[in-house]
């Protein structure tokens, strides 16, 4: 899936490991630490590791008809859609945290007291925000998950916010110690950005998404057909992942200079839906041909 980028390695690749506001706390400069080839190789290894972890999470929560490596396959394929997906980026690193919180979200309905779990999710989102600021919108998912999986408890709702604020409380203290508290307030300015009403899109760059859209439509029809025959926990899980996909895609507006790799955050929830279709499809000749066309279209648009 990464032949195209190894065939024509970019002359220079930068890797911004942390948001600028977090570098006062953790001063790790990896901008030019790797050669382009090393950058791509490490990114490929990270994707492979993420795919295995993601596969375990999906199978562990019985989201598909039977355990398989389909989630990992769809994850690897999804992270190969565009060239920018194949390099080290904050969104790629954040996917480790996103997979982690997906696992914790899916455990909410299985425990009697979820305050600790929700607090942990809030802290993970806080850490993810230090790496990539738009990751903050996953706070919305805490409230959606609580609505889906839990009866209302104000302690659980407050626990998630408290966990998130704990991370930034320590960051604020560090800013205060360094007489930079005024700069701390600048961190939150992107929250005032208006959602863009006009988009400049080169549609030729996104033709590769047509096979993805077809598979997602087929998966949605399949899911609708089996919806009321599924376990309640499975229904709620797919509703959660659907909202996560939307929230992750919409969060780009928090980063005025966002790049295409931002949409790597959509891959984990999207990969579950793709895997669901191939796990439940009946006509083998059709779904295997569809997947082959999907892979070939990805490779074609990467080379042209």
Cβ(247)–Cβ(143) below 8 Å: no
Dist CA 44 CA 80 (whole Å): 10
Model pLDDT, residue 197: 58
Q: What is the pTM of this model?
A: 0.91
CB-count exposure of residue 278 (10 Å: 0-12, 13-18, 19+):
buried
pLDDT of residue 260: 86
Segment (H or E) for 214 = helix 209-226
pLDDT at 230 (0 to 100): 66
Tell me the per-residue pLDDT of 119-159, one tens digit each, with 9 for 90 and over: 999 999 999 999 999 999 999 999 999 998 888 888 999 99
What pLDDT sits at residue 1? 86
pLDDT at 60: 92
Contact indicator for 148, 266 with CB cutoff of 8 Å: no
Query: Which residues are CB-contacts of 95 (< 8 A; sequence separation ≥ 6)?
Result: 50, 264, 265, 267, 268
Closest CA to 156 of 167, 145, 171, 170: 145
> Residues near 296 by Cβ (< 8 Å), separated by ≥ 6?
none
Predicted local distance difference test score (pLDDT) of residue 255: 80
- Using one digit for the tens of pLDDT, what is the confidence trace for 88-106? 999 999 999 999 999 999 9
| pLDDT value of residue 78 | 93
> Do residues 167 and 161 make contact, with C-beta atoms less than 8 angstroms apart?
no
Nearest to residue 93, comparing CAs of 9, 158, 26? 26
* The pair of three-digit structure tokens given for residue 269, joined into one six-digit string: 């929830």
HEC per residue, 28-76:
CCCCCCCCHHHHHHHHHHHHHHHHHHHHHHHHHCCCCCCCCCHHHHHHH
pLDDT at 51: 97
pLDDT score, position 122: 95
DSSP 121-184: HHHHHHHHHHH-GGGGGHHHHHHHHHHHHS---HHHHHHHHHHHHHHHHHHHHHHHHTT-HHHH
- One-character DSSP codes across 233-295: HHHHHHHHHHHHHHHHHHGGGG-TT--GGGGGGGHHHHHHHHHHHHHH---HHHHHHHHHHHH
Walk along the chain (304 residues) in steps of 10 and give the mean pLDDT of each run.
Answer: 85 78 72 82 95 95 89 94 90 94 89 87 94 92 91 89 93 85 79 66 73 87 74 83 92 81 92 90 86 89 82
């Amino acid at each position: 899936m990464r032949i195209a980028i190894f065939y024509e390695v970019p002359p220079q690749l930068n890797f911004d490991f942390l948001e600028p506001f977090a570098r006062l706390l953790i001063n790790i400069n990896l901008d030019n630490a790797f050669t382009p080839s090393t950058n791509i190789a490490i990114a490929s290894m990270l994707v492979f590791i993420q795919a295995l972890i993601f596969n375990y999470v999906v199978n562990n929560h019985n989201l598909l008809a039977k355990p398989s490596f389909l989630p990992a396959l769809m994850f690897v394929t999804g992270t190969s859609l565009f060239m920018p997906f194949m390099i080290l980026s904050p969104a790629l690193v954040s996917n480790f945290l996103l997979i982690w919180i997906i696992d914790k979200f899916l455990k909410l309905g299985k425990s009697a007291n979820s305050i600790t779990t929700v607090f942990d999710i809030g802290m993970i989102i806080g850490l993810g925000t230090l790496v990539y600021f738009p990751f903050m919108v996953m706070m919305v998912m805490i409230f959606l998950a609580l609505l889906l999986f839990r009866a209302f408890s104000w302690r659980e709702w407050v626990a998630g916010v408290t966990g998130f604020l704990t991370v930034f409380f320590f960051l604020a203290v560090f800013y205060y110690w360094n007489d930079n508290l005024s700069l701390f307030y600048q961190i939150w300015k992107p929250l005032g950005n208006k959602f863009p009403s006009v988009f400049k899109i080169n549609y030729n760059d996104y033709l590769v998404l047509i096979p993805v859209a077809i598979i997602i439509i087929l998966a949605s029809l399949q899911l609708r057909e089996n919806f009321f025959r599924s376990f309640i926990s499975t229904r709620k899980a797919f509703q959660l992942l659907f909202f996560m996909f939307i929230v992750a895609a919409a969060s780009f507006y928090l980063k005025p200079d966002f790049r295409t790799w931002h949409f790597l955050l959509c891959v984990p929830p999207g990969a579950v839906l793709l895997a669901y279709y191939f796990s439940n499809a009946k006509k083998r000749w059709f779904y295997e041909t569809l997947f082959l066309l999907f892979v070939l279209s990805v490779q074609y648009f990467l080379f042209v």
